[in-house]
Structures are given as C-alpha cells and as structure tokens.
Amino acid sequence: MKRIGMLTSGGDCQALNAAMRGVVKCLVNSKEDVEIYGFIDGYRGLIYGNFRMLEGRDFSGILTKGGTILGSSRTPFKTIKDPDENGLDKIDAMKQNYYKLRLDCLVILGGNGTHKTANLLREEGLNIITLPKTIDNDLWGTDMTFGFQSAVNIATDAIDCIHTTAASHGRVFIVEVMGHKVGWLTLNAGMAGGADIILIPEIPYNIKKVVEKIKERNENGSRFTILAVAEGAISQADAKLSKKEYKEKMKNYKFPSVSYELAQQIQEMTGHEVRVTVPGHTQRGGSPCPYDRVFASRLGAEAGELILKGEYGFMVGYRNREVVKVPLEEVAGKLKVISPDASIVKEAKLMGISFGD
C-alpha cells in the first residue's frame, strides 16, 4: 500500500488538475494499492492537518478544468520558520501530519517559493517529489512550466483584441502582462501578438528610447503603437537605485502600476492618447490549453513512476524536449531569468521590436 499526500501551493494556474490526474492515473494503472490524501489550500492544509481522502472519481473530468480541486494559498518561505499567531512551529506541524498519516511521499505542485519550502521538508527527512507550475516560466531546472503556455495564449488574445481598436483610433495602447521578476510571459505574448515595444524586468528601459520608437512608427505611417509591458518592468533610472532607495521611492508612488506611469510619460512627451489594459488574473484562469494538458499529464505520469520506484527528492522537469528528474536542492531558490543577450531577444530586435534599451 502506497500512501501519497498531494498539495498545490502558491498562485493557481491552468493544468494543476491535469498534473495531479497524471500522477494518480499512473499509480492506479500500475495496479499498486494506493491511498491519496489531498491537503486543502496548500501548505496551510499540511500545517493544520486539513485534508481529505481522494478517490478515483475525484480525478475524473478534471483534465480540462482550470484552477485546483485542492485549493491553494500563499505561505511565504521567508516566514515558514516563524511560529504562527498561536506559537505553532509550522515546520514541525507539517512533519507531524506527514508521519501521522504514514505517508510514503508528498507530491507538491508549485513555483519558486513552493520549491524552497519543499526542499526544506526534504532536508527535514520527508520524501518529496515536486511538479513545476507557474505562468511565469521562471522556475530553474526546467525549460517549461505548466500553466505558462495557457497564460501566453490568454495574454496574446488580449493583445490581438487591442490591435483592432488601437488601429481604429490611432492610439498608443499598453497591455500589462503578469510577471514581477521575469519577463518570459510578456516576451512570448508580445511577440505572438505583434507588439511593437516589449518591456521586461531583465532589460531596464529608457523612456526616451520608448518614445523614439513611437515617433518612428508615426513617421513611417503607423497610426498606432502597442506596448507589452511586464508588471515588473523597470526604468534604467530606477534600476540604478539601491533596494533601500527604491523602496523609499515606491512608498510615495502615485500610480497603480508601471504601465500607468509609462502612459502619463508617453502622453506628455508625444501628445498621443494612451490607454492601459490589464488582463490581470484572467491570465491564470480558464481551461488549460491542449499543450498544457499534454505537458502536465506527462510530468504527472513521470512523478507517479518515481513514486513507484521509490526515488524521492526530485522535481520532474523538462529539458531539451525530454522529461527529466532534477534534484530539488538544485532548483530551490533559483530564478530562470531572460538574458539580455538571449537569442529570442536578439531575434525580436531583428524584427524591429524595441525593448527600450
């Protein structure tokens, strides 16, 4: 009998359910006797012992369902070692609930912060296998994360829709795409949607260069310009500030986000009307695209096989078009960022896309 715990932590995304289904289908198909314990709302469920037994029918019909049937929550790694408001040791509580249920393994689906905590639990002696989910595609050790392609599709659709109204009215439109620290989502959606300017956190922008591109398009007869802007995009001036200086500046920041600051600057410097569109959490929602359904299922099946083999302490990742196992200690705490010299950036620039640098 195999006793498996499962939880989904951090921000939700498409294909979480598909990945869990892949794990369970693999285990059931092996004819191994198995019990699945689903912890509710991520690490919070593991800390406070909030779980439910999952049966085969719980995984039926969820391949195309977005979100997560287990619920999720953010449990920041930076406070995971701090006692809760009642003095409870969260790490000890998670370990006790693991042992109380006599689990053979805990399958954890999540992004960067989730993997830090997962690795900590591995160091504490628990059998852990993780699956890489995030719409940001910023998890180190894997070329792709599930949820990313679905989010690219949604963000691209938003840019596509903006194109017609931008062309009709001759306006500058800014589409703000999710991504605080990395710009994979903005870069891919921007290229797919035909954005003229793409601003990402890894390449600080100069507002004068942004305006130059807009003016260049006008001079060439284009009535509109579309900017795909990551929510974490930063100006060259702000990038030179120390963390302390930047925090001080943001205390008095009068804009909802960087896109609105850009809009005001562009309007003042060009006289053009500027509109901001923020797809927001729609990028996390809805059904997973076919790519993510297949991809998440593959990763889930591979995780199931690792469980059957008793191989723990790995993230199931994707490298060079192959599903691989990556040691958790190599993943935790690392971000996969876009190099300004990356070939995809070079190729975008060859097509005339400006990064404001």
Catalytic residue list: 136
Amino acid 106 reads L
Give the number of residues written for the chain. 357
Q: Which long-range contacts (CB under 8 A, 24 or more apart) does 91-99 make?
A: 91/120, 91/121, 91/124, 93/46, 93/47, 93/48, 93/49, 94/43, 94/46, 94/47, 94/121, 95/121, 95/124, 95/125, 95/126, 97/46, 97/47, 97/49, 97/51, 98/5, 98/46, 98/126
The span from the CA of 269 to the CA of 279, in Å, is 26
148, 135 Cβ separation under 8 angstroms:
yes
What are the CA-CA distances from residue 81 to residues 75, 77, 118 (Å)? 11, 8, 13
Say if residue 59 is exposed, middle or buried (CB neighbours under 10 Å; 0-12, 13-18, 19+): buried
5, 101 Cβ separation under 8 angstroms:
yes
DSSP assigned state of 188: H
